[in-house]
Amino acid sequence: MTELLAPAGNIEALDAAIGEGADAVYMGLKSFNARLRSSNFAWNQFEAAVQSVHRLGKKIYVTVNTVCEENETERLYRFLSYLNKIGPDGIIVQDFGVIRMCQEFFPDLELHASTQMNVESAAAANLLCKQGVKRVVVARELGLEEIRAIKSKTNAEIEMFVHGAQKWLERSYSGWGAFMVLPRGLKDTRRGCENIVTYKAIWLALYIVPVIALALCMLQKRKTLAKRCRRRKSGYVVCIPDFVAVLGTVFAAAASLLGVYAVLTASGQLSEMLVIYLICGGGQWLGIYAAALTIRWRIVVKGSELTVYPLFSKIYQINLCDVLSAKCQVKDNQTRSERIVLRTSEHRIVIDKSMIAYNLFKAHLERELPKDIREGF
C-alpha cells in the first residue's frame, strides 16, 4: 500500500495537504520537536486536528524526533502519555531511549524511525523492527535502486522523501556538516545543523562584539586616561579613578566568557537563550557601563568655568556664577561617604569623594562660591 504523506506545520498547511489529496500528515508540537522555531501546533489545535483528520479517514503522525537528555526523561514520559491519550496514528522518533520508553509504557503508540537515524541498509531497518519500529524513513540521499534493495530484504514499511530539503553530507561527515554549511547563512531557520550553528553564532556575537568594541575604546583612550587627571597649567580635571574602568572591563569580559560557554552548551531554545542573556548579558552591560562612564565622564575646571562631559548627553559648560546651590552631603556611616551636589537652572552635577581631585574641587568651590549658596562645607 502506498501512502502520500505531507508535512503540516500549521492549520493552513494541514487543510491544504488534506484538501490536495494527502493520505496522511505529520506535525510537531511545542516539545521534543526538531523544528521548535517553526510555528507548530498548540495543544488544543493538535487535539482538534487529530479528531478532524480521523473523521476524514486520514492519518496523522507526530514528530518526537529530538535526542532526549537525562534531565528530560520525566517530561518525555508525560509527553508520550499525553500522545497516547490523544491517539495519533504514530510517532516519528530518532532516539532509542524514546523507542524503549514507548515499548515499555506505551505499546499502543506506533513507532516510525525518523530519517535522522540515517537508515541506509536492510540490516539497520531489521534491527529497528526488532525494537518495535513499524516504519523506517530511509536516509534522504539514497537513490531509488538502493531503496528497492532495502525493501526486498526487510518486512518494515519503507518511507522515503520525494520532495523537500536534501541533507547531503550527513552520511560521511556527521558533526562536521554543521560547520560546512555555516557560510550558507540563515536561508531557512528550520534546517537542522545549518540552523542551530547560525542561530547560536548570532547569540555569540551579542557577547563578543561589545567586549571587543570596549577593548578597542580602552586602547584608544589609554593616553587620555593617563593624562586627564593630572593638574594642568590652566586648570585641572575631576574624574572617576582609572581602576573603575579596568574592573568594569574585567567584569564585562568575565560575563561575556560565561555567556559564550552557556550558549555553546545550551540546547538553543529561545527561552533558554533569553534567560542566559538576561543573566550574563546583564552583567556584561553593567561592566561596560562602568568602563564607559570612567572613560567619558569628567569635569574640566578652568577658573570659574566648568566643562562637563556627561556619559549620554552633549558636553556643556557652566560658570560658577550660575550655580544656585552647592551642598556637601555626608552620610553617617562607617565609610563616611561624601559627595557634592551642584545645581543650576538646567543641570544637576554630582561629584563623589572617591573621584580624583575631589578635595581640590571642594576647596575651589569654597573659594569661588558665596557662603549663602554653600551648605555643609
From 79-93, 203-217, 290-304, the region with the lowest mean pLDDT? 203-217
5-188 classified as CATH 1.10.8.60: no
Confidence grade of residue 39 (pLDDT, cut at 50, 70, 90): low
Domain ranges in the chain with CATH number 3.20.20.60:
5-188
* Most confident stretch, 80-84, 278-282, 317-321: 80-84
DSSP, collapsed to helix, strand or coil, labels residue 323 as: coil
User: pLDDT at residue 153 above 90?
Assistant: yes
Q: Which three cell numbers stand for residue 376?
A: 555643609
pLDDT tens digit string along 5-28?
988 888 888 889 998 899 999 988
pLDDT in tens, 59-77: 999 999 888 888 889 999 9
Residue with C-alpha cell 525494537?
Answer: 131
Residue 166 CB neighbours (<10 A): 10
Amino acid 38: pLDDT = 63
Note the pLDDT of residue 171: 40
pLDDT of 191 strictly over 70: no
Amino acid 98: pLDDT: 93
Q: Is the separation of the CB atoms in 156 and 133 below 8 Å? A: yes
The confidence band for 224, taking pLDDT boundaries of 50, 70 and 90, is low
Q: What is the mean pLDDT of residues 280-297?
A: 86
Amino acid at 272: E
| C-alpha cell, 121 | 541498509
pLDDT grade for 141, boundaries at 50, 70 and 90 = confident
Please list the residue range(s) of the chain that carry CATH number 2.30.29.
Answer: 298-375
* Number of Cβ atoms within 10 Å of the Cβ of 185: 10
CATH topology of domain 298-375: PH-domain like (2.30.29)
Rounded to two decimals, what is the model's pTM? Answer: 0.47
Give the tens place of pLDDT for each residue, 314-372: 889 998 888 888 888 887 665 568 888 989 888 898 988 889 888 888 888 888 888 88
Share above pLDDT 90 across residues of the chain, in percent, rounded to a whole number: 24
**pLDDT value, residue 174:** 36
Cell of 104: 515499555
Going by C-beta distance under 8 Å and a sequence separation of 6 or more, which residues neighbour residue 95?
66, 67, 68
Per-residue CA distances from 236 to 245, 301, 325, 345, 357 (Å): 20, 5, 22, 25, 8
Residue 126 reports pLDDT greater than 90: yes
Tally of residues, the chain? 377
Give me the pLDDT at residue 187, please.
Answer: 37
Whole-number pLDDT of residue 178? 36
CB 356 within 8 A of CB 241: yes
List the grid coordinates of 76. Answer: 518525555
Q: In the structure, what pLDDT confidence band is assigned to residue 54 with cuts at 50, 70 and 90? A: very high
| Rounded mean pLDDT, 93-109 | 93
Among 307, 315, 300, which Cα is nearest to 236's? 300
Strand partners for 306: 301, 318
Predicted confidence (pLDDT) per residue in 199-209, tens digit:
677 878 878 88
